[in-house]
Structures are given as structure tokens and as C-alpha cells.
Amino acid sequence: MKNIEKAIEAEQEYIQLNLQGEQPNIHDYLDQWGYSDLEEFHNDKIEYQLKNLDWTVIEQPRIDLSLVTWNVRDKVPSYMYAINTGEKYAFIKNGYENENELVDKGFTIVKFGYNATNETATSGLILSFDGDFRLYLLIPKHIDVSINLFLKKLNEYFIQLGLDSVVDGNDILIDGRKVCGSATFEAGDMTGFVCQVTFTDHIDEIKEICGERNKMPGFIPQNILTAYQLKDKFLEWLQ
């Protein structure tokens, strides 16, 4: 039977022996607590660490990066989200060159300081509208978590709802259309995870700005799932 708490203690013992110049076998320490698979142990360890954080939950009436700054300064694990903001936002990568065009179209620019994985003109651009689910997690850097874990959890939930959902890089596609974009950024002793899940139909506006891209935009119909339901489900998993 798996016991993640004991397995984490055993890993620390293994690390200490390594630091002392010994060469123990990690499996001798983890197998006894139900972990013969190191990847499974790593994933369960991260989930255990996340669930044991003292999360501060904040609903933002509008996206306010000062809250991110304060919580980074105070090293506060934070679950910040915005849904009904009355505004539309453009999350842009480092070095994005068409800010003025976005402002002219009524978008508020949000700069979290992340890099895109490719170099097309609109790569890394995430457009967000009133009613979409915007999530920002701040996590202490000692937790070695990747963006893929969060996307995997969201994707598993979408599949449970009967949706044809797959993870594609830093995005999630449903029926082959992009409904979720995400990015990570570094801030002091914290790692930030930014996620946007689309619940509103602004496909034509997104196409106009982003052009015909490989990943066509889509949205999740609110008779299947709402932004607030997803907020609650994801928070439930973290806690």
C-alpha cells in the first residue's frame, strides 16, 4: 500500500546518505512504501506538497498584478482568479510587438513575463474575455511542479465530462479547438502558473487578431460546464 508521507521521509534519508558520500539504491527506500515507479512517486509527492500549502484564495473583480507583486513579496501561496471582470484582456509574451493594435481593439494588456515556445507574430498571445476563467497560481519554488501537471488535471476533468479533450503543448484542445492556454513565469522565490479557459464565443474576434493558426479557437458551452464550476473543481483538487 502506498504511503506518500513515509516515502518522502525515506527519500530525505536517501538524499542525506548521498551527501555523505554513500551510494544507496533509491528503490530500497521507496519500494517499502509502495513506490517502485519513480515517476509515480514524484507526481504523488508534488500533489501532496500542493495539498498541504496554506492557499490564499482571491477572486479579483479585475486583473490586478499588484496582488501578484504583494503575494510574491510575502511568499504567499495564492489561488487568484477572475471571471466576471467587465473587461477583455490580452496576456502577452516577453517582446510582443503589437501592443498598440490590441489596445486599439479594447484589450487591457497583461504582462506576466513569460516566453513563448515558438516565434510567430502572435505566439504566446492569450486573449481573454469577460466570463472566461482566468487563474493565476503562485507556488513556492521548492515544489518542483511543472505546467503539465495542472493541464493534465484539467484535461482529466474535461474527459470525465465526456469532452474530446487533449493536452497539446501548453494548451488544451477540445474537438480539435483550443479552449485553454497557459504559461509559467518566475517571480522571486515563487513560480507562477497562468491559465485561461474560454467559456465565451469570441471566435471571430480571435481569428481576426491571431489569423489562421494551427490551433483554431473554441470554447466550452456553459450548459456543459461553467467557469465557476471549474474554479471550484480545481480548488477542490488543490485542497
For residue 183 the three cell numbers come to 504559461
Burial state string for 17-45 with b = 16 or more CB within 10 A and e = fewer than 16: eeeeeeeeeeeebbeebbbeeeeebeebb
Q: pLDDT (tens digit, 9 = 90+) per residue, 186-225?
A: 888 999 898 899 999 998 888 888 776 668 899 999 999 9
pLDDT range class, residue 114, cuts 50, 70, 90? low
Domain range summary for the chain, segments of one domain joined by +: 4-51, 56-238
Please state which CATH number belongs to domain 56-238: 3.30.930.10
184 pLDDT higher than 90? no
Q: pLDDT (tens digit, 9 = 90+) per residue, 36-63?
A: 999 999 999 999 999 999 999 999 888 8
